[in-house]
Structure 1
Amino acid sequence: MKLSLRDMLLIAIFAALTAVGAFIKIPTPIVPYTLQFLFCAYAGILLGSRQGLYSQALYILLGLIGIPVFVNGGGPAYILQPTFGYLLGFALCAYVIGKCMERFGAAVTFVKLLGAVLLGLFLIYLIGVPYLYLIVNLYLGKSMALSKALAVGFIPYIIPDMILSVLIAATGVKVLAILRRTGFIKNSA
C-alpha cells in the first residue's frame, strides 16, 4: 500500500487536529472532556478506515515519543496514564467509522452516519473505561470498583458525546455532499 503526498498530508492534518482537540478541554476529575472525539470521528468520515486509523496512530505515536500533544503532556510513560485507553479507542473509532463510510459508498444518510459515529464512540468507551479501571487498580495501586470507573470515565461524558455525535453526523452529511460536489472526494467512496 502506497500513500500519496495528498494522503500523507491529510493524515498529518487530522493528527494535528486531534492534538488541537486535546487542548480544547473542560477539566474534570481524572478524565477531562475534550474535542478529540470530534476530530477522530471526522478522520474516519473523511479519510476512510486506513487513513483515519493512520491519523490517530500518528497522533498517538507523536505523543509517545515525547511531543506534548496529549491532554497531560506526552512521553512513553503516558501509557500508564488512566486516560491512555481512550487514545487507543480513538484509533479504533476512526477505523470503524471509516470502514462504515466505505460500506455506505455514496449513499450516506444522517441516520447511517449517526450509527457509525455512535459505534465509534462506543468503542472508545469500551477500551477507555476498562483501561482506566485497570491502570488505577493495578498500576496506581488505588482501589476502584468498576462502577466507580464508569462513574468517572463514562457517565459524565456520554450525554455530551452523544450530542456531539448528532452534530458530527449532521455536519458530516453536509460536508461530504460539498466535498463530493467539488470533486475532492469520489462519489464511490
Structure 2
Amino acid sequence: MKIKTRDMILISIFAALTAIGAFIKIPTPIVPFTLQFLFCAYSGIFLGGKYGMYSQLLYVGIGLIGIPVFANGGGITYIFQPTFGYLIGFVVCSYVVGKLTENLDKVSFTKIFTPVLIGLFFVYLFGVSYLYMIINLYMKKEMSIRSAIAAGFTPYITSDLILSVLVSVTSLYVIPAIRKAGFKKEFVR
C-alpha cells in the first residue's frame, strides 16, 4: 500500500488534532467531555473513510505505546479504562463518516449531518458498551445497562449533537473552499 507524503501529513495532522481535542476537556465523574469527536468527524469528512480511519488509528496507537495523548493519560493499560471504547468508536466513526461523505458531488447540511450522526452513533455504541463491560467484568462492580447509558451517553449527547451541527455547518464552507483551491481529489475525497 502506497500513501502519498501529503496524505501522511494530513493523517498525522488529524491525529494530532484529536490529541489536542483530548486536552480541551471538562472533567466529569467517569467520561470527560472533550473535543475529540469534533476532530474525529472532521477527519472522516476531509480525509475520506480510509485515511480518516488511519488518522484515528494513529492517534490510538500513539496513546497505546505510552504517549499520554488520551484524555486520562496513555499506555497499553489504557485498554482497561472504562472510556477506551470511545476511542474504538472514534476509529469506526471516522471511517463511516468518511465513506458516507467522500463521494458527495454537492455538499448540503443534510448530506453532512446525517453521516456525522451515524458516526456519533458508533462512538456511543462502542463507548457505552465498553464502559458497561469494563465496569462489570474487569472492575467487578455492578452496573446496569441503564446506569451505563446514564453515565456514558445521557450527559454528553446534547453537546455532541451541538458539535455535529458545528461540523456540518463549517463543512458547508470549508469543503467548497478546498475544492475551489484545487484540492478536490487530493484533500476532500
TM-score, normalised relative to structure 2: 0.97
1:56 alignment partner in structure 2:
56
1:184 alignment partner in structure 2:
183
1:139 alignment partner in structure 2:
138
SS state of the match for residue 102, structure 2? helix
Task: Decide whether aligned partners of structure 1 residues 92 and 81 sit closer, same or farther in structure 2, where only a CA change above 3 A counts.
Answer: same
SS state of the match for residue 68, structure 2? coil
1:4 alignment partner in structure 2:
4
SS state of the match for residue 185, structure 2? coil
Q: Distance in 2 between matches of 1:148 and 1:176?
A: 40
In the TM superposition, residue 184 of structure 1 has moved relative to its aligned partner by 2.2
Q: Does 1:120 align with 2:91?
A: no
TM-score, normalised relative to structure 1: 0.97
Which consecutive unaligned segments of at least 5 residues does structure 1 have? none
Q: Supply the AA of the counterpart residue of 1:109.
A: S
2:20 alignment partner in structure 1:
20
SS state of the match for residue 70, structure 2? coil
2:155 alignment partner in structure 1:
156
Q: Distance in 2 between matches of 1:90 and 1:131?
A: 13
Q: Distance in 1 between matches of 2:11 and 2:141?
A: 38
Q: Distance in 2 between matches of 1:15 and 1:122?
A: 21
2:129 alignment partner in structure 1:
130
In the TM superposition, residue 101 of structure 1 has moved relative to its aligned partner by 1.2
Q: Distance in 2 between matches of 1:175 and 1:167?
A: 12
Identical columns (%): 61
2:95 alignment partner in structure 1:
95
1:172 alignment partner in structure 2:
171
Q: Distance in 2 between matches of 1:91 and 1:51?
A: 11
Q: Supply the AA of the counterpart residue of 1:137.
A: N
Q: CA RMSD in A?
A: 1.2
Between the two proteins, the alignment pairs up a number of residues equal to 188
SS state of the match for residue 103, structure 1? coil
Q: Distance in 1 between matches of 2:70 and 2:103?
A: 32
Q: Supply the AA of the counterpart residue of 2:122.
A: L
In the TM superposition, residue 109 of structure 1 has moved relative to its aligned partner by 1.0
Q: How does 1:60-99 map to 2 (within 5 A)?
A: 60-99=60-99
Q: Supply the AA of the counterpart residue of 1:34.
A: T
In the TM superposition, residue 107 of structure 1 has moved relative to its aligned partner by 1.6
